[in-house]
Amino acid sequence: MARAASASTTAAQPRVSRDPASFRGKGVRGLTFERRWTRPGVHPYDEVTWDLRSAEIKNESGMTVFEQHDIEVPNFWSQLATNVVVSKYFRGHIGTPDRERSVKQLIDRVVNTITAWAATQHYFHTTEDLEAFKAELTHLLLHQKMAFNSPVWFNVGVEPRPQVSACFINSVEDTMSSIMDLAKTEAMLFKYGSGAGVNLSPIRGSKEKMAGGGIASGPVSFMRGYDSFAGVIKSGGKTRRAAKMVILDADHPDVMEFITSKAHEEKKAWALIEAGYDPSFTGEAYGSVFFQNANHSVRVTDEFMRAVETDATWTTRAVTTDEPVDTYRARDLFKAMADAAHLCGDPGIQYDTTINDWHTSANTDRIYASNPCSEYMFLNDTACFAPETRISTPNGLRTVEDLFLAQERGEKVLVTTDLSGERDHRRLTAHRPALVTLVGERPVYRMKLRDGRSIRTTGDHRFLTDTGEWKRVDELRPGEDRVAIRESGNPVRFESSDAEVRRWQMLGWLTGDGVFSKDTAALVFGPQERDTAESMAEEFRALVSEAQAQEALVASVELDLSRGALLTEAGVATPTRGRGHHLSTQANGVMQISSGSRAVVQLLEDRYGFEQGTATVKDVPSEIHRVADDLKVAYLQGLFSADGSIFSQKWATEDQVMLASSSPALLRSVQLLLADLGITSRISWAHPAGRKNPQGQLHIFNQQARTFLTLVGFPNSTTKSARAARILATTFAGARKNPRPAAIASIEPDGVTTVYDITEPFTHSVIAEGLIAHNCNLASVNLMKFVKDDGEFDIEAYRYACKVTITAQEILVDNASYPTPRIEENSHKYRPLGLGYANLGALLMSRGLAYDSDQGRAYAATLTAIMTGEAYRQSAEIARDHGGPFMEYPLNEQPMLRVIGKHRDAAYAIPEGQAPSDLIAASRATWDEALELGRQHGFRNAQSSVLAPTGTISFMLDCDTTGIEPDIALIKYKKLVGEGFLKIVNQTVPGALKKLGYSPAQVEEIVEYVNDRETIEGAPGLRTSDLSVFDCAFKPVNGERSIHYMGHVRMMAAVQPFLSGAISKTVNMPEAATPDEIERVYLEGWKLGLKAIAIYRDGSKRSQPLSTGKKKDGEAVDSAEVEELKKQLTAALAEAKKPHRRRLPAERAAVTHKFEIAGHEGYITVGLYPDGQPGEIFLKMAKEGSTVSGLMDTLATMMSVALQYGVPLRDLVNKFAHVRFEPAGFTGNAEIPIAKSIVDYIFRWLGARFLPKDERDALGIIAREPEVVPEVPLAALAGA
């Protein structure tokens, strides 16, 4: 098949991204949907047979822990699917009318809600298309061909705006409020059945200093709190545990502590188990230690992995300063990861460089984290202002950083927002509550406008343009675009006292024609300003008096009255004579009043926020942004009276107002103060000949000038005030028009800085620097349902199911709720989805393909390629026919098409001949179509596919295998949270045997063998060459074969190139696997291009949800790992001196224990020495005189003699425990649930009962009963 053009070519026609907050689908074509499995007028429910059943789950003791009767289910659903769906997903309390009692109610609740949303938002072209979609979606769910993730079943149709996403990625910053906010966000996610992942690397390390003194706690300490919250929350109000992923970068200072954190807690759990606490994963042992509710992963780069390969060093760096902290051999860190994973399964590893190479929205930001199972990897809840950005509020201009700190102190934050008003065609404003969020370090741009304004913000922040569009900074075009500016100001109420007005007028004069530098404050006046000088001098003296009153030891106040003082650019020249409380007057008539008092300087700095400096760096006092608006007017009156002017130009019909200064900061601040009062201005710069510094001029024109003269004016300058009065007395002759939006002069990258986001939920706008600024759900397809009667895969049906499912997921995006405003914003901006599949392992087995084979991997690759390609193809059609591409697509078009091209190239790289030709052709054709449609119309969703674990929904779908996993075993047991277990028998074996050519009789015989022996090894008539087809993740109880752990890694590598996200997949390793082998898995995963990998070594945890046999947790585990190098307190017994017989006293205590093994009853009686140790054994089984009875008597006598001659019981237990022969099986004893033989049971019981703890530890024997056993003296028994 011919390949399409290069993916780097982009479409020529621009596409419009619609804001989902306002878009409701009107005016677009809508989707068309053909029917495949359903017929008009016939409901899918009417085409199946329904049964009434009971749903019941029992625990290991046979006690019922859940039951509901008279449940209506399709007759082809298994009892297992019935039990899972009813216990997990039916809503309402049992025994009440609100309780769901039919699968029809469950499916209708979800499907009817989704289609109602679709109708409201005009997703479909016609009503017939909508009805077809509804019927086909119902069919998929009813026939177990697809299932949504658990939050959809939990919440849709129950909550008005349900949380439907299974997984979220949160962010956290290095502040206490952000750290605590993360805990709250995760709690709400877990409540509604979702999982969350977070990269804690922004939190400073435990070796870094705090700003207020002391050393930081570090991220691992906060992980304990997060873990505790997760542990007490049941997801979705059901017994589904909270799911978490915690990530730390390899260069974080605390990475070593993070690597070992979970392993240390695992050891504590083991010790508790050995002390007798419940070892189940919901029991007391694991419930008493930390980090059991989260997966841990270390985030590594290619640079780190190359350092591991070459045995180079690796340096961790401080979060706050980026300075080096510790230097390790990279291999030492890598080995520590493997050692910890060997012990407890964590940490896993995530390959950061690979993840971001396949990132579809790379122009927005990097991917920093994943969800709990590592398959969903996307942007953090991202966009924002630099800290110095001044935001308009009812109380004036305040920096966004200041607003954040005020919020941290518990103050309510109000911001000025933009409203579109009709009155005189001006933009109106209002004041509304807002939330300020510290986002963290982000790249920023500086946008400069031609009117002199500038603002620093992230590239994805949007501003209102003159066309009414909201555009991102990185979309705006200098020289072409104009941004809207604030036109209406806060209404000014003149309510302040005359004294306050005089003070702020004097402070304005100090800024304009004064000096504040070199610890000197001075006011300077021209020869014609005697009246102003006298009144200002009086106010200055009042300021001095206040300073003296505030500081008892204030330096003497100098009021310079001498003639000859000169004003220079460096400050005030030393006066030549005359000191007193009068103005000093120079020969040229210039007057001055000054103070060198430290008290005065400190008052100006502390109370009013003045900063010392020369004329080129002066700025308005910071306190001006916190005072009432009439005092802002007073300040501007003093400033403009001192340094402002009114002048005319020949070409102008109206005079203009101007303020001159050589300080850019001052002019910019004044421009913003004026904007807050509804007065717009422009700033221009020139460098006059003969001047040391450039000169800036702030201009106020036309109506704006008249507004200024009316509201502010020049009351402190007699001459300027008179001219202003004459102007206002004339009729306005200028053009009556609103100020023109400001043209953009330049947009340039401006480094990386800490940024803040402001959320105003009503208008979604704030006034920033005078500008108007805008402030994954999963589903899985059951692969086995697309196998046709002839055993071949139905490609077109599979594609159609993917199309229906991705459409349903897309509809959910705009109708769901989200835990935080930032997550909600990003969900709408990028619309990531997660289509996946289940039952791959069963499908491969049913086709007679070994999981660990080239053919098996190629088959899986084609199926994955078709799924994701079809999802993106439909996403492009939705963009064309309904909502346009996702909002951030224009920015990310190039990386998106590049990644789609990489997917398509991978489809063409699947080897010919290793998979059916029709599958290979379909995978390539699907990606060709997806790429071409995407070039033309964009994509509605930034991500479309992942491979999720599909745990519970796999049972809902009657799958034999979950996600991409092979089966764990042909027969297995699943423990349920809230007690109980389910026995799961693989139903794929008969079909696989038939596909391999076995006769019906042979199939029946082999299946019976599997059910009986729990392994297929040794089955009658089974060819050795076919054994690999039935290999599972774990070695069976009675077998030896399993899939090699590298087989898991190779399967992941085969399908990873066809997924938007990653793979939730555990690499199962045998109990004997070493840390070195785990290192090889992590290294090979990187080389093969995986995004993440996690391992689990069988037996490394004392409890696991799935097991290959129904055994008690922690049985026969080497607990030497629990307490390292523990002394063997009874080691001296092995070195006993000359043997001698130690007889029991004539009267001795004894204990009798009844046991049962696979229906065979027996009794053990142990005679005890006075110290409580065993000295004689009696065994009774079967009838007197029988062979078994005779053998038991002989064994008891030999044991008794051995014990009395000093043979340590430890050695006997070590020798005879775990001896295997019939009868064997279940015992009913919780300590020893399964016995391999009678001898095995006897010696394990003796060891648990009589050996000291350290010897039990060494032998892996667990005892939960008290060690002091003799209680009732018995009559003397005839000994051996």
Q: Which of 149, 170, 293, 371 is catalytic?
A: 371
Q: How many CB atoms neighbour CB 984 within 10 A?
A: 18
Query: Which residues, 6 or more positions from 591, have their beta carbon under 8 angstroms from its beta carbon?
Result: 524, 525, 526, 527, 529, 530, 533, 583, 584, 585
Q: Which amino acid is at 235?
A: S
Q: How many CB atoms neighbour CB 245 within 10 A?
A: 26
Grouping H, G, I as helix, E, B as strand and the rest as coil, residue 350 is strand
Grouping H, G, I as helix, E, B as strand and the rest as coil, residue 74 is strand
Quote the longest CA-to-CA distance of the chain.
Answer: 138
Measured CA distances, 597 to 543, 548, 553, 570 (Å): 11, 9, 11, 18
Measured CA distances, 948 to 83, 570, 779 (Å): 22, 69, 9
Dihedrals φ, ψ of 632, to 5°? -60, -40
What is the distance between the alpha carbons of residues 774 and 771, in angstroms, rounded to a whole number?
A: 10
**What distance, in Å, lies between the first and last C-alpha atoms of the chain?**
86
Nearest to 421 by CA among 772, 825, 16: 772
Length of the chain: 1280
For 383-474, where are the E strands, in sequence order? 390-393, 396-399, 414-420, 427-433, 435-449, 454-457, 462-464, 470-472
Q: Which of 136, 266, 274, 373 is catalytic?
A: 373
Q: Which of 186, 274, 375, 810 is catalytic?
A: 375
Measured CA distances, 1189 to 260, 1059, 1154, 1162, 1195 (Å): 53, 64, 15, 10, 10
Nearest to 385 by CA among 472, 455, 475: 455
Q: Residue 779: beta bridge partners? A: 148, 835
Helices 1045-1055 and 854-878: angle between axes, nearest 10 degrees: 30
What is the distance between the alpha carbons of residues 128 and 120, in angstroms, rounded to a whole number?
A: 15
Q: Which amino acid is at 1230?
A: A
Annotated active-site residue 373? The verdict is yes
Grouping H, G, I as helix, E, B as strand and the rest as coil, residue 335 is helix
Q: Within 13 Å, how many C-alpha atoms sit on residue 911's CB side? A: 8
Nearest to 60 by CA among 1270, 1252, 1233: 1233
Would you say 372 and 197 are in contact if contact means Cβ atoms under 8 Å apart? yes
The DSSP code for 101 is -
Provide DSSP, 934-947: HHHH--S-S--B-B
- Strands 195-199 and 244-249 turn out to be parallel
Grouping H, G, I as helix, E, B as strand and the rest as coil, residue 93 is coil
Annotated active-site residue 371? The verdict is yes
H or E stretch at 592? strand 591-595
- Strands 348-351 and 64-74 turn out to be unpaired
Would you say 252 and 218 are in contact if contact means Cβ atoms under 8 Å apart? no
Q: Any idea what the Cα angle at residue 305 is, between residues 853 and 1067, rounded to 5°?
A: 35
Task: Tell me the Cα Rg of the chain.
Answer: 39
Query: Which residues, 6 or more positions from 620, have their beta carbon under 8 angstroms from its beta carbon?
Result: 511, 635, 666, 669, 670, 673
Nearest to 717 by CA among 496, 498, 505, 500: 505
Q: In this structure, which long-range contacts are made by residues 161-164, counting pairs with CB atoms below 8 Å and at least 24 apart in sequence?
A: 161/815, 161/816, 161/817, 162/192, 162/816, 162/817, 163/189, 163/192, 163/193, 163/194, 163/816, 163/817, 163/818, 163/819, 164/777, 164/812, 164/816
Which residues are designated catalytic?
Answer: 371, 373, 375
